[in-house]
Amino acid sequence: DSGVTQTPKHLITATGQRVTLRCSPRSGDLSVYWYQQSLDQGLQFLIHYYNGEERAKGNILERFSAQQFPDLHSELNLSSLELGDSALYFCASRGAGGLQFFGPGTRLTVL
């Protein structure tokens, strides 16, 4: 158990819909990173928040957005979903030594 929690574990939805994925970092970690893993693209960095502020953006689509709340949990919002958005979505928090600890992931299926 990494200490990073993600909900839900699985999500099945239809094209055009909007979903919200939730992540809580390890106790004491201020950072949250979101990653997407798909068969086509592999593991890709989406976005990074530190103590409520956006710090870096990766290959995140405009239809996707995220935020980090004062209690440090983060939400990744995916809208106007397409079939190609089906993937595993991970969040991770970074500890003092530079290690990133990953949550169990949310498997999104868009039908």
Partner 1 sequence: SQQGEEDPQALSIQEGENATMNCSYKTSINNLQWYRQNSGRGLVHLILIRSNEREKHSGRLRVTLDTSKKSSSLLITASRAADTASYFCATDAANSGYALNFGKGTSLLVTP
If binding is defined by CB under 8 A, does position 56 make contact with partner 1?
Answer: yes
Q: How far apart are CA 41 and CA 73, in angstroms?
A: 26
* Residue among 94, 96, 109, 111 that touches partner 1 (CB under 8 A): 94
Residue 19 Cα distances to 9, 48, 59, 89, angstroms: 13, 19, 18, 12
Nearer to partner 1, 80 or 99 (CB): 99
Instruction: Select the residue interacting with partner 1 from 40, 42, 83, 96 (CB under 8 A).
Output: 42
Q: Say if CB 78 and CB 19 are below 8 A apart.
A: yes
Q: Does 30 bind partner 1 (CB under 8 A)?
A: no
Using rule CB under 8 A, residue 5 touches partner 1: no
Tell me: does residue 99 bind partner 1 (CB under 8 A): yes
Reading the block at residue 45, the tokens are: 């960095």
CA distance 36 to 42: 8
Instruction: Give the footprint of partner 1 on this chain (CB under 8 A).
Output: 2, 33, 35, 42-45, 48, 50, 55-56, 58-59, 88, 90, 92, 94, 97-105, 107
